Amino acid sequence: MRLELAKGTSTHWFELILDNKKFQKLWGQTNVASKQLSKTYRTPAKAKTAHDAFHAELIAKGYRDPARPGVAPAKDTPRNPALEAAIRANRDDPGVYQVYADWLQQQGNPLGELIVLSQANKKAAAARIIDKLGFPGHELAKMGWRHGMWQWLRLENNHDWYDTSFDPAELARTVFAQPACAALEELRIGMLRWDHNDTDVPAVLDEAKKFAWSADLVSLRLGDDVDRNINMAHHCIGDVAKRISKTFPRLRRLFLHSGEEHWRQQETFGLRGLALPELRELTIETCSLSKARLAAVLAAKLPKLEKLELWFGSTDYHADASIKGLTKLLDGSAFPNLRHLGLCNAELENEIAIALTSSKIAGKLESLDLSRGTLTELGAEALIASAKSFPRLKALALDRNFLSAQTIRAVTAKFPFATAEEQKEPDDSVEGETHYYVSVAE
Protein backbone atom coordinates (compact mmCIF):
# COMPACT_ATOMS: atom_id res chain seq x y z
CA MET A 1 0.00 0.00 0.00
CA ARG A 2 1.18 3.51 -0.85
CA LEU A 3 0.41 6.50 1.39
CA GLU A 4 1.18 10.11 0.50
CA LEU A 5 1.32 13.48 2.23
CA ALA A 6 1.64 16.79 0.40
CA LYS A 7 4.00 19.30 2.01
CA GLY A 8 4.19 22.50 0.04
CA THR A 9 5.36 21.63 -3.48
CA SER A 10 6.75 18.25 -2.40
CA THR A 11 4.98 14.92 -1.87
CA HIS A 12 6.22 12.61 0.87
CA TRP A 13 5.33 8.94 0.50
CA PHE A 14 5.56 5.52 2.11
CA GLU A 15 5.00 2.10 0.59
CA LEU A 16 4.14 -0.64 3.07
CA ILE A 17 4.69 -4.22 1.92
CA LEU A 18 3.55 -7.15 4.06
CA ASP A 19 4.80 -10.56 2.92
CA ASN A 20 4.13 -13.37 5.37
CA LYS A 21 6.59 -12.75 8.24
CA LYS A 22 8.32 -9.86 6.50
CA PHE A 23 7.29 -6.21 6.80
CA GLN A 24 9.04 -3.79 4.43
CA LYS A 25 8.91 0.01 4.37
CA LEU A 26 9.95 2.16 1.42
CA TRP A 27 9.81 5.93 1.68
CA GLY A 28 10.86 9.11 -0.05
CA GLN A 29 9.71 12.43 -1.42
CA THR A 30 9.57 14.30 -4.71
CA ASN A 31 13.00 14.50 -6.42
CA VAL A 32 14.71 12.74 -3.50
CA ALA A 33 16.15 9.21 -3.58
CA SER A 34 14.01 6.66 -1.76
CA LYS A 35 15.03 4.60 1.27
CA GLN A 36 13.91 1.24 2.56
CA LEU A 37 13.88 -0.84 5.71
CA SER A 38 12.65 -4.39 6.22
CA LYS A 39 12.22 -6.66 9.21
CA THR A 40 11.30 -10.32 9.54
CA TYR A 41 9.12 -11.26 12.52
CA ARG A 42 8.67 -14.60 14.25
CA THR A 43 5.11 -15.03 12.96
CA PRO A 44 2.92 -13.54 10.21
CA ALA A 45 0.59 -12.22 12.92
CA LYS A 46 3.36 -10.19 14.53
CA ALA A 47 4.40 -8.82 11.14
CA LYS A 48 0.82 -7.75 10.49
CA THR A 49 0.58 -6.12 13.92
CA ALA A 50 3.68 -4.06 13.15
CA HIS A 51 2.31 -3.17 9.70
CA ASP A 52 -1.07 -2.08 11.06
CA ALA A 53 0.48 -0.02 13.85
CA PHE A 54 2.76 1.86 11.47
CA HIS A 55 -0.10 2.35 9.00
CA ALA A 56 -2.21 3.90 11.78
CA GLU A 57 0.70 6.14 12.75
CA LEU A 58 0.99 7.46 9.18
CA ILE A 59 -2.76 8.04 8.93
CA ALA A 60 -2.63 10.04 12.16
CA LYS A 61 0.09 12.21 10.61
CA GLY A 62 -2.10 12.95 7.59
CA TYR A 63 -0.83 10.42 5.06
CA ARG A 64 -3.53 9.10 2.72
CA ASP A 65 -3.97 6.42 0.06
CA PRO A 66 -3.92 8.23 -3.34
CA ALA A 67 -6.09 5.46 -4.82
CA ARG A 68 -8.72 5.32 -2.07
CA PRO A 69 -12.16 4.88 -3.67
CA GLY A 70 -13.98 7.45 -1.56
CA VAL A 71 -17.21 7.20 0.39
CA ALA A 72 -20.60 8.25 -0.93
CA PRO A 73 -22.51 10.70 1.27
CA ALA A 74 -25.25 9.21 3.42
CA LYS A 75 -28.72 9.27 1.89
CA ASP A 76 -29.95 11.56 4.66
CA THR A 77 -27.18 14.14 4.08
CA PRO A 78 -28.88 17.58 4.21
CA ARG A 79 -29.24 19.13 0.72
CA ASN A 80 -31.22 22.06 -0.62
CA PRO A 81 -31.83 21.69 -4.37
CA ALA A 82 -33.24 25.21 -4.72
CA LEU A 83 -30.16 26.83 -3.18
CA GLU A 84 -27.87 24.60 -5.25
CA ALA A 85 -29.69 25.71 -8.41
CA ALA A 86 -29.26 29.34 -7.35
CA ILE A 87 -25.50 28.80 -7.13
CA ARG A 88 -25.40 27.25 -10.62
CA ALA A 89 -27.25 30.29 -11.93
CA ASN A 90 -24.71 32.65 -10.32
CA ARG A 91 -21.47 30.68 -10.04
CA ASP A 92 -19.20 33.70 -9.63
CA ASP A 93 -21.26 35.36 -6.88
CA PRO A 94 -19.82 34.49 -3.44
CA GLY A 95 -23.05 35.66 -1.82
CA VAL A 96 -25.12 32.72 -3.07
CA TYR A 97 -22.55 30.32 -1.64
CA GLN A 98 -22.76 32.12 1.71
CA VAL A 99 -26.53 31.69 1.78
CA TYR A 100 -26.13 27.97 1.18
CA ALA A 101 -23.34 27.79 3.78
CA ASP A 102 -25.66 29.27 6.41
CA TRP A 103 -28.35 26.73 5.60
CA LEU A 104 -25.90 23.81 5.59
CA GLN A 105 -24.43 24.81 8.95
CA GLN A 106 -27.90 24.95 10.44
CA GLN A 107 -28.40 21.37 9.25
CA GLY A 108 -25.03 20.19 10.56
CA ASN A 109 -23.49 19.59 7.12
CA PRO A 110 -19.69 20.24 7.24
CA LEU A 111 -19.75 21.58 3.69
CA GLY A 112 -21.24 24.76 5.14
CA GLU A 113 -18.19 25.37 7.31
CA LEU A 114 -15.94 24.50 4.38
CA ILE A 115 -17.55 27.21 2.24
CA VAL A 116 -17.07 29.78 5.02
CA LEU A 117 -13.42 28.81 5.56
CA SER A 118 -12.69 28.81 1.84
CA GLN A 119 -14.10 32.29 1.38
CA ALA A 120 -12.04 33.45 4.37
CA ASN A 121 -8.94 31.93 2.69
CA LYS A 122 -8.26 29.71 5.72
CA LYS A 123 -6.65 26.96 3.68
CA ALA A 124 -5.33 24.76 6.49
CA ALA A 125 -8.65 24.59 8.31
CA ALA A 126 -10.49 23.99 5.02
CA ALA A 127 -8.08 21.17 4.15
CA ARG A 128 -8.87 19.40 7.42
CA ILE A 129 -12.58 19.39 6.61
CA ILE A 130 -11.94 18.21 3.04
CA ASP A 131 -9.95 15.31 4.45
CA LYS A 132 -12.98 14.18 6.47
CA LEU A 133 -15.50 14.34 3.63
CA GLY A 134 -14.56 11.00 2.09
CA PHE A 135 -13.49 12.11 -1.39
CA PRO A 136 -11.52 9.65 -3.57
CA GLY A 137 -7.73 9.83 -3.74
CA HIS A 138 -6.04 11.99 -6.36
CA GLU A 139 -5.16 8.96 -8.52
CA LEU A 140 -8.89 8.55 -9.19
CA ALA A 141 -10.31 12.07 -8.90
CA LYS A 142 -8.99 15.60 -8.92
CA MET A 143 -10.99 18.76 -8.44
CA GLY A 144 -10.65 22.52 -8.58
CA TRP A 145 -12.38 24.64 -5.96
CA ARG A 146 -14.41 27.85 -6.04
CA HIS A 147 -15.92 29.30 -2.86
CA GLY A 148 -15.81 25.90 -1.12
CA MET A 149 -17.45 23.86 -3.89
CA TRP A 150 -16.07 22.16 -6.98
CA GLN A 151 -15.60 24.28 -10.07
CA TRP A 152 -14.20 21.39 -12.09
CA LEU A 153 -13.83 17.65 -11.57
CA ARG A 154 -11.53 15.19 -13.35
CA LEU A 155 -11.98 11.42 -13.22
CA GLU A 156 -9.21 9.07 -14.34
CA ASN A 157 -7.98 5.71 -13.11
CA ASN A 158 -4.38 6.83 -12.87
CA HIS A 159 -3.71 4.04 -10.37
CA ASP A 160 -4.08 1.04 -12.70
CA TRP A 161 -5.72 1.24 -16.15
CA TYR A 162 -5.42 -2.51 -16.54
CA ASP A 163 -7.42 -3.40 -13.43
CA THR A 164 -10.57 -4.98 -14.89
CA SER A 165 -12.17 -5.11 -11.44
CA PHE A 166 -12.21 -1.32 -11.23
CA ASP A 167 -15.77 0.03 -11.53
CA PRO A 168 -15.85 3.51 -13.13
CA ALA A 169 -19.62 3.79 -12.71
CA GLU A 170 -19.31 3.20 -8.97
CA LEU A 171 -16.59 5.85 -8.74
CA ALA A 172 -18.84 8.25 -10.64
CA ARG A 173 -21.80 7.58 -8.35
CA THR A 174 -19.67 8.20 -5.27
CA VAL A 175 -18.24 11.46 -6.57
CA PHE A 176 -21.26 12.90 -8.38
CA ALA A 177 -23.41 12.50 -5.26
CA GLN A 178 -21.14 14.73 -3.18
CA PRO A 179 -22.78 18.04 -2.19
CA ALA A 180 -19.56 19.78 -3.29
CA CYS A 181 -20.38 18.68 -6.86
CA ALA A 182 -23.68 20.57 -6.94
CA ALA A 183 -22.28 23.67 -8.69
CA LEU A 184 -19.93 21.85 -11.07
CA GLU A 185 -19.01 23.88 -14.16
CA GLU A 186 -16.65 21.52 -15.99
CA LEU A 187 -16.36 17.72 -16.04
CA ARG A 188 -13.19 16.07 -17.35
CA ILE A 189 -12.82 12.34 -17.99
CA GLY A 190 -9.50 10.69 -18.81
CA MET A 191 -8.55 7.03 -19.18
CA LEU A 192 -10.62 4.69 -17.03
CA ARG A 193 -9.83 1.11 -18.13
CA TRP A 194 -7.55 0.22 -21.04
CA ASP A 195 -9.72 -2.41 -22.71
CA HIS A 196 -13.11 -1.03 -21.67
CA ASN A 197 -12.86 2.74 -21.99
CA ASP A 198 -15.30 2.82 -24.91
CA THR A 199 -18.02 1.48 -22.60
CA ASP A 200 -16.76 3.05 -19.36
CA VAL A 201 -17.07 6.65 -20.56
CA PRO A 202 -20.73 6.24 -21.64
CA ALA A 203 -21.43 4.53 -18.29
CA VAL A 204 -20.03 7.52 -16.41
CA LEU A 205 -22.14 9.89 -18.52
CA ASP A 206 -25.21 7.81 -17.68
CA GLU A 207 -24.44 8.27 -13.98
CA ALA A 208 -24.09 12.04 -14.43
CA LYS A 209 -27.58 12.25 -15.90
CA LYS A 210 -29.03 11.20 -12.53
CA PHE A 211 -27.91 14.46 -10.88
CA ALA A 212 -29.42 17.92 -11.26
CA TRP A 213 -26.08 19.66 -11.85
CA SER A 214 -25.63 17.84 -15.18
CA ALA A 215 -28.36 19.92 -16.84
CA ASP A 216 -26.39 23.11 -16.11
CA LEU A 217 -22.88 21.87 -16.92
CA VAL A 218 -20.96 24.39 -19.03
CA SER A 219 -17.92 22.44 -20.21
CA LEU A 220 -17.23 18.75 -20.89
CA ARG A 221 -13.89 17.16 -21.80
CA LEU A 222 -13.76 13.48 -22.78
CA GLY A 223 -10.30 12.04 -23.35
CA ASP A 224 -8.87 14.82 -21.21
CA ASP A 225 -5.06 14.94 -21.15
CA VAL A 226 -4.64 11.29 -22.17
CA ASP A 227 -2.18 12.11 -24.97
CA ARG A 228 0.63 12.41 -22.42
CA ASN A 229 1.33 8.67 -22.58
CA ILE A 230 -1.41 6.94 -24.60
CA ASN A 231 -1.57 6.72 -28.39
CA MET A 232 -4.81 8.21 -29.65
CA ALA A 233 -5.66 5.04 -31.58
CA HIS A 234 -5.62 3.13 -28.29
CA HIS A 235 -7.99 5.50 -26.51
CA CYS A 236 -11.68 5.46 -27.40
CA ILE A 237 -14.55 7.23 -25.68
CA GLY A 238 -17.41 5.20 -27.14
CA ASP A 239 -20.74 6.19 -28.66
CA VAL A 240 -21.27 9.43 -26.77
CA ALA A 241 -23.01 12.06 -28.90
CA LYS A 242 -26.63 11.33 -28.01
CA ARG A 243 -25.75 10.82 -24.34
CA ILE A 244 -23.99 14.17 -24.23
CA SER A 245 -26.96 15.91 -25.83
CA LYS A 246 -29.48 14.43 -23.39
CA THR A 247 -27.36 14.74 -20.25
CA PHE A 248 -25.76 18.17 -20.70
CA PRO A 249 -28.24 20.29 -22.71
CA ARG A 250 -26.68 23.64 -21.73
CA LEU A 251 -23.09 22.86 -22.66
CA ARG A 252 -21.13 25.75 -24.15
CA ARG A 253 -17.78 23.98 -24.62
CA LEU A 254 -17.18 20.37 -25.71
CA PHE A 255 -13.81 18.64 -26.17
CA LEU A 256 -13.54 15.08 -27.52
CA HIS A 257 -10.24 13.19 -27.89
CA SER A 258 -10.59 9.69 -29.32
CA GLY A 259 -9.44 7.16 -31.84
CA GLU A 260 -11.41 4.12 -32.95
CA GLU A 261 -11.04 0.38 -32.45
CA HIS A 262 -12.71 -0.93 -35.58
CA TRP A 263 -12.32 -4.61 -34.67
CA ARG A 264 -14.75 -4.32 -31.76
CA GLN A 265 -18.38 -5.24 -32.26
CA GLN A 266 -19.79 -1.85 -31.22
CA GLU A 267 -19.15 1.80 -32.10
CA THR A 268 -16.05 2.95 -30.26
CA PHE A 269 -16.24 6.63 -31.27
CA GLY A 270 -19.76 7.73 -32.11
CA LEU A 271 -20.66 11.30 -33.11
CA ARG A 272 -24.13 10.82 -34.57
CA GLY A 273 -26.98 12.72 -32.91
CA LEU A 274 -25.19 15.70 -31.37
CA ALA A 275 -27.70 18.46 -30.54
CA LEU A 276 -26.64 21.23 -28.16
CA PRO A 277 -28.50 24.53 -28.55
CA GLU A 278 -26.05 26.57 -26.42
CA LEU A 279 -22.74 25.13 -27.62
CA ARG A 280 -20.17 27.74 -28.69
CA GLU A 281 -16.97 25.69 -28.96
CA LEU A 282 -16.42 22.16 -30.29
CA THR A 283 -13.02 20.48 -30.48
CA ILE A 284 -12.62 16.96 -31.86
CA GLU A 285 -9.11 15.54 -31.74
CA THR A 286 -8.87 12.23 -33.59
CA CYS A 287 -6.69 10.18 -35.89
CA SER A 288 -9.81 8.51 -37.34
CA LEU A 289 -12.12 11.09 -38.92
CA SER A 290 -14.08 8.89 -41.29
CA LYS A 291 -16.59 10.09 -43.87
CA ALA A 292 -19.39 8.98 -41.56
CA ARG A 293 -17.99 10.85 -38.55
CA LEU A 294 -17.48 14.03 -40.57
CA ALA A 295 -21.05 13.79 -41.87
CA ALA A 296 -22.30 13.32 -38.30
CA VAL A 297 -20.45 16.43 -37.12
CA LEU A 298 -21.79 18.58 -39.94
CA ALA A 299 -25.32 17.27 -39.33
CA ALA A 300 -25.15 18.20 -35.65
CA LYS A 301 -27.65 20.74 -34.38
CA LEU A 302 -25.38 23.45 -32.98
CA PRO A 303 -27.05 26.76 -33.92
CA LYS A 304 -24.76 28.95 -31.80
CA LEU A 305 -21.43 27.31 -32.65
CA GLU A 306 -18.67 29.90 -33.07
CA LYS A 307 -15.52 27.78 -32.90
CA LEU A 308 -14.86 24.38 -34.48
CA GLU A 309 -11.60 22.44 -34.44
CA LEU A 310 -11.53 19.14 -36.31
CA TRP A 311 -8.60 16.76 -36.55
CA PHE A 312 -8.59 14.29 -39.43
CA GLY A 313 -5.80 11.74 -38.92
CA SER A 314 -4.35 8.97 -41.02
CA THR A 315 -5.92 6.74 -43.66
CA ASP A 316 -4.12 3.91 -41.86
CA TYR A 317 -6.67 4.47 -39.09
CA HIS A 318 -9.73 4.93 -41.32
CA ALA A 319 -9.49 8.72 -41.67
CA ASP A 320 -11.10 8.75 -45.11
CA ALA A 321 -13.01 12.05 -44.85
CA SER A 322 -12.71 14.05 -48.06
CA ILE A 323 -13.00 17.60 -49.35
CA LYS A 324 -16.42 16.73 -50.76
CA GLY A 325 -17.56 15.93 -47.24
CA LEU A 326 -16.69 19.47 -46.13
CA THR A 327 -19.15 21.15 -48.52
CA LYS A 328 -21.71 22.19 -45.89
CA LEU A 329 -18.98 23.56 -43.68
CA LEU A 330 -17.25 25.58 -46.39
CA ASP A 331 -20.46 27.07 -47.77
CA GLY A 332 -21.47 28.20 -44.28
CA SER A 333 -24.73 26.28 -44.12
CA ALA A 334 -23.69 23.84 -41.38
CA PHE A 335 -22.79 26.45 -38.75
CA PRO A 336 -23.78 29.99 -39.81
CA ASN A 337 -22.21 31.67 -36.75
CA LEU A 338 -18.78 30.07 -37.12
CA ARG A 339 -15.89 32.53 -36.77
CA HIS A 340 -13.00 30.32 -35.68
CA LEU A 341 -12.10 27.21 -37.66
CA GLY A 342 -9.46 24.52 -37.30
CA LEU A 343 -9.07 21.77 -39.89
CA CYS A 344 -5.98 20.10 -38.52
CA ASN A 345 -3.84 16.98 -38.65
CA ALA A 346 -5.02 16.22 -42.19
CA GLU A 347 -3.38 14.31 -45.03
CA LEU A 348 -5.40 16.54 -47.37
CA GLU A 349 -4.22 19.83 -45.84
CA ASN A 350 -3.28 21.30 -49.24
CA GLU A 351 -6.73 20.49 -50.63
CA ILE A 352 -8.32 22.09 -47.59
CA ALA A 353 -6.29 25.27 -47.97
CA ILE A 354 -7.14 25.54 -51.66
CA ALA A 355 -10.85 24.90 -51.05
CA LEU A 356 -10.97 27.52 -48.31
CA THR A 357 -9.74 30.29 -50.61
CA SER A 358 -12.93 30.15 -52.70
CA SER A 359 -15.33 29.25 -49.89
CA LYS A 360 -18.18 31.37 -48.56
CA ILE A 361 -16.98 30.88 -45.00
CA ALA A 362 -13.56 32.46 -45.65
CA GLY A 363 -14.91 35.99 -45.36
CA LYS A 364 -16.33 35.30 -41.89
CA LEU A 365 -13.27 33.72 -40.31
CA GLU A 366 -11.37 35.54 -37.59
CA SER A 367 -8.99 32.65 -36.92
CA LEU A 368 -7.90 29.66 -39.00
CA ASP A 369 -5.85 26.66 -37.84
CA LEU A 370 -4.33 24.34 -40.47
CA SER A 371 -1.63 22.94 -38.20
CA ARG A 372 -0.21 19.42 -37.73
CA GLY A 373 -0.98 18.34 -41.27
CA THR A 374 0.71 17.99 -44.66
CA LEU A 375 0.57 21.58 -45.89
CA THR A 376 3.32 22.34 -48.40
CA GLU A 377 4.19 25.21 -50.71
CA LEU A 378 1.19 24.27 -52.87
CA GLY A 379 -1.39 25.02 -50.20
CA ALA A 380 0.51 27.97 -48.77
CA GLU A 381 0.72 29.67 -52.17
CA ALA A 382 -3.05 29.32 -52.58
CA LEU A 383 -3.56 31.14 -49.27
CA ILE A 384 -1.10 33.86 -50.27
CA ALA A 385 -2.71 34.39 -53.66
CA SER A 386 -6.17 34.67 -52.08
CA ALA A 387 -5.31 36.67 -48.97
CA LYS A 388 -8.13 39.10 -49.79
CA SER A 389 -10.61 36.24 -49.33
CA PHE A 390 -9.94 36.45 -45.57
CA PRO A 391 -10.68 40.11 -44.71
CA ARG A 392 -11.44 39.45 -41.01
CA LEU A 393 -8.65 37.00 -40.30
CA LYS A 394 -6.57 37.87 -37.23
CA ALA A 395 -4.88 34.52 -36.51
CA LEU A 396 -3.48 31.85 -38.85
CA ALA A 397 -1.77 28.72 -37.48
CA LEU A 398 0.35 26.72 -39.93
CA ASP A 399 2.57 25.03 -37.37
CA ARG A 400 3.93 21.48 -37.76
CA ASN A 401 3.52 21.22 -41.53
CA PHE A 402 6.09 21.04 -44.35
CA LEU A 403 6.84 24.66 -45.18
CA SER A 404 10.25 25.98 -46.18
CA ALA A 405 11.73 29.10 -44.63
CA GLN A 406 11.13 30.93 -47.91
CA THR A 407 7.47 29.93 -47.97
CA ILE A 408 7.02 30.97 -44.35
CA ARG A 409 8.43 34.42 -45.14
CA ALA A 410 6.00 34.75 -48.03
CA VAL A 411 3.07 33.70 -45.82
CA THR A 412 3.93 36.14 -43.03
CA ALA A 413 4.33 38.94 -45.57
CA LYS A 414 0.65 38.52 -46.44
CA PHE A 415 -0.50 37.40 -42.99
CA PRO A 416 1.77 39.10 -40.40
CA PHE A 417 -0.08 37.35 -37.58
CA ALA A 418 0.59 33.84 -38.95
CA THR A 419 2.56 31.25 -36.96
CA ALA A 420 4.55 28.44 -38.57
CA GLU A 421 6.61 26.82 -35.84
CA GLU A 422 8.13 23.31 -35.71
CA GLN A 423 7.99 22.46 -39.41
CA LYS A 424 8.55 18.78 -40.24
CA GLU A 425 10.82 17.04 -42.75
CA PRO A 426 9.26 14.66 -45.29
CA ASP A 427 10.10 10.97 -45.09
CA ASP A 428 12.02 9.74 -48.15
CA SER A 429 12.65 6.25 -46.81
CA VAL A 430 9.54 4.56 -48.21
CA GLU A 431 10.38 3.01 -51.60
CA GLY A 432 12.17 6.16 -52.68
CA GLU A 433 8.99 8.26 -52.55
CA THR A 434 8.56 11.47 -50.59
CA HIS A 435 6.03 10.90 -47.83
CA TYR A 436 4.19 13.70 -46.03
CA TYR A 437 2.58 12.68 -42.76
CA VAL A 438 0.26 14.09 -40.14
CA SER A 439 1.59 14.89 -36.68
CA VAL A 440 -0.80 12.50 -34.90
CA ALA A 441 -1.27 9.36 -36.98
CA GLU A 442 -2.19 7.03 -34.12
Mind listing the pLDDT tens digit for each residue in 252-261? 999 999 998 8
**pTM above 0.85?**
yes
CB within 8 Å of 431: residues ≥ 6 apart:
none
Residue 11: count of CB within 10 angstroms of its CB:
15
Q: φ and ψ at 93, to 5 degrees?
A: -95, 110
Q: Work out the average pLDDT over 303-316.
A: 97
Please, are residues 231 and 209 in contact by the beta-carbon 8 Å criterion? Answer: no
pLDDT value at 70 more than 90: no
More confident residue, 224 or 432: 224
Note the pLDDT tens digit of each residue in 344-356.
Answer: 999 999 999 999 9
Residue 406 and residue 377 in contact, taking contact as beta carbons nearer than 8 Å: no
DSSP-assigned letters across all residues of 81-121: HHHHHHHHHTTT-HHHHHHHHHHHHHHT-HHHHHHHHHHTT
Closest-CA residue to 362 (of 333, 400, 386, 389): 389
Residue 430 has pLDDT above 70, yes or no: no
Does pLDDT of 32 surpass 90? Answer: no
Residue 263: the pLDDT is 66
In terms of phi and psi (left: phi > 0; alpha: psi -120 to 50; beta: otherwise), the region of 176 is alpha
State residue 310's pLDDT score: 98
Task: Tell me the domains of the chain and their CATH numbers.
Answer: 2-60 (2.20.140), 142-435 (3.80.10.10)
Place 230 in a pLDDT band, splitting at 50, 70 and 90.
confident
pLDDT of residue 340: 99
Q: How many Å apart are CA 160 and CA 379, to the nearest integer?
A: 45
- Cβ–Cβ under 8 Å, residues 225 and 259: no
Q: Going by C-beta distance under 8 Å and a sequence separation of 6 or more, which residues neighbour residue 174? A: 69, 70, 71, 72, 136
pLDDT of residue 233: 78
pLDDT at 356: 98
The C-alpha atoms of residue 64 and residue 130 are separated, in whole angstroms, by 12
User: What does the pLDDT read at residue 229?
Assistant: 67
Q: Can you give the pLDDT at residue 231?
A: 82
